[in-house]
Amino acid sequence: DVKVTQSSRYLVKRTGEKVFLECVQDMDHENMFWYRQDPGLGLRLIYFSYDVKMKEKGDIPEGYSVSREKKERFSLILESASTNQTSMYLCASSFRSGNNEQFFGPGTRLTVL
């Protein structure tokens, strides 16, 4: 079974704090993705990575950065958290080539006060 794990299920931070969200997958997937999910807006892609040290902006990268130093780990960084970044954050991974589903982690519900 594919396992995608995220470091926290729930997180509460204060405005201006630096926040790290970690995602780890154990299936040797090339691709990894970070989404945020908000009511009425669905899943929106923040960043994705198709290889170690490679990253591509998604639809809403502003206020976020990412790091992929190892194939199995993809980190999302909020340099200075703001209240409008309160959301559910979902990590996913997949193989790069062919027609493949994405496998999702359980999500991190982040609240920024």
Partner 1 sequence: EDKVVQSPLSLVVHEGDTVTLNCSYEVTNFRSLLWYKQEKKAPTFLFMLTSSGIEKKSGRLSSILDKKELFSILNITATQTGDSAVYLCAVAPRDTGNQFYFGTGTSLTVIP
Query: Where on the chain is the footprint of partner 1 (CB under 8 A)?
Result: 4, 31, 33, 35, 40-45, 48, 50, 56, 58, 90, 94-96, 99-107
Nearer to partner 1, 11 or 43 (CB): 43
Nearer to partner 1, 81 or 107 (CB): 107
Min dist. Cβ of residue 27 to partner 1 (A):
13
For residue 108, give every residue at least 6 positions away whose Cβ sits within 8 Å of its Cβ, in sequence order, or none: 6, 7, 8, 9, 10, 11, 21, 88, 89
Nearer to partner 1, 11 or 17 (CB): 11
For residue 86, give every residue at least 6 positions away whose Cβ sits within 8 Å of its Cβ, in sequence order, or none: 110, 111, 112
Min dist. Cβ of residue 42 to partner 1 (A):
4
d(Cα 36, Cα 50) in Å, to the nearest integer? 19
Taking alpha carbons only, the member of 6, 71, 53 closest to residue 34 is: 6
Min dist. Cβ of residue 111 to partner 1 (A):
16
